[in-house]
């Protein structure tokens, strides 16, 4: 039996799911559920097949406009930075997903490409760059924890305070191994200001 006879809908049919009050494209079956995807791509969801129905023209238009607005807010698909292997790989994943009409994977690749570019190509995107400097007034925090049990000193203002806690805990328990950690604070300054 073909899928569209079993489900009542052909793949790609735009349907309304009253359970989530959402319009989506019918993708197929997932066990006893219908698998739907938002118009324009995105994360798929499962819906009860006995509740979904074809979307009305008004519902289709509204969902299409939402998808178009979402795309325009992001400025369209991200453009890979020239000579960046990671950008090229992610753009290749997106192109392969687009070729097989897998909008969910295409959206995922776009998200990963945008995330990569925000992290590694701030100048290309016109985003401010930051430099890190120690926050001297905040100082550092010292902490120690026992490796034999879950006991820990909690943050302390100096190394001497954590060593004092270790000695007290060792006297009480006989435990002799500790993990020590030092945390400091940083301030980020915009390098273009």
Considering the domain architecture, whether residues 15 and 61 belong to the same structural domain is answered as yes
* pTM, rounded to two decimals: 0.38
Where does residue 171 rank: exposed (0-12), middle (13-18), buried (19+ CB within 10 A)? exposed
Write out pLDDT tens, residues 65-121: 777 666 555 567 888 888 899 999 999 999 999 899 888 888 889 889 988 888 887
Tens digits of per-residue pLDDT, 17-49?
Answer: 998 888 999 999 988 999 998 887 777 889 999
Whole-angstrom distance, CA of residue 67 vs CA of residue 175: 60
Which stretches within 75-121 are classed as H helix? 85-99, 103-120
Spatial separation of the C-alpha atoms in residues 168 and 170, rounded to whole Å: 5
- For 37, phi then psi, to 5°, come to -130, 140
In terms of residue numbers, what domain contains 27?
3-71
% of the chain surpassing 90 pLDDT: 41
The total of structural domains in the chain comes to 3
Q: Are residues 186 and 144 in the same domain?
A: yes
For residues 139 and 157, membership in a common domain is answered with yes
């Amino acid at each position: 039996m073909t899928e569209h006879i079993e489900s009542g809908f052909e793949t790609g049919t735009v349907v309304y799911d009253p359970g989530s009050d959402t319009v989506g494209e019918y993708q197929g079956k997932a066990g006893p559920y219908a698998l739907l995807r938002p118009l324009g791509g995105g994360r798929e969801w499962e819906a009860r097949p006995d509740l979904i129905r074809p979307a009305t023209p008004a519902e289709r238009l509204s969902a299409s406009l939402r998808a178009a607005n979402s795309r325009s807010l992001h400025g369209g698909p991200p453009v890979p930075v020239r000579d960046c292997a990671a950008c090229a790989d992610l753009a290749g994943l997106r192109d392969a997903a687009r070729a097989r009409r897998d909008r969910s994977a295409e959206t995922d690749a776009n998200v990963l490409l945008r995330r990569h570019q925000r992290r590694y190509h701030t100048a290309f995107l016109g985003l401010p760059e930051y430099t890190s400097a120690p926050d001297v007034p905040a100082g550092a925090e010292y902490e120690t924890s026992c490796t034999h049990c879950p006991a820990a000193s909690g943050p302390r203002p100096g190394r001497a305070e954590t060593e004092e806690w270790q000695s007290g805990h060792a006297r009480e328990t006989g435990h002799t191994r500790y993990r020590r950690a030092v945390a400091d604070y940083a301030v980020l300054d915009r390098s273009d200001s």
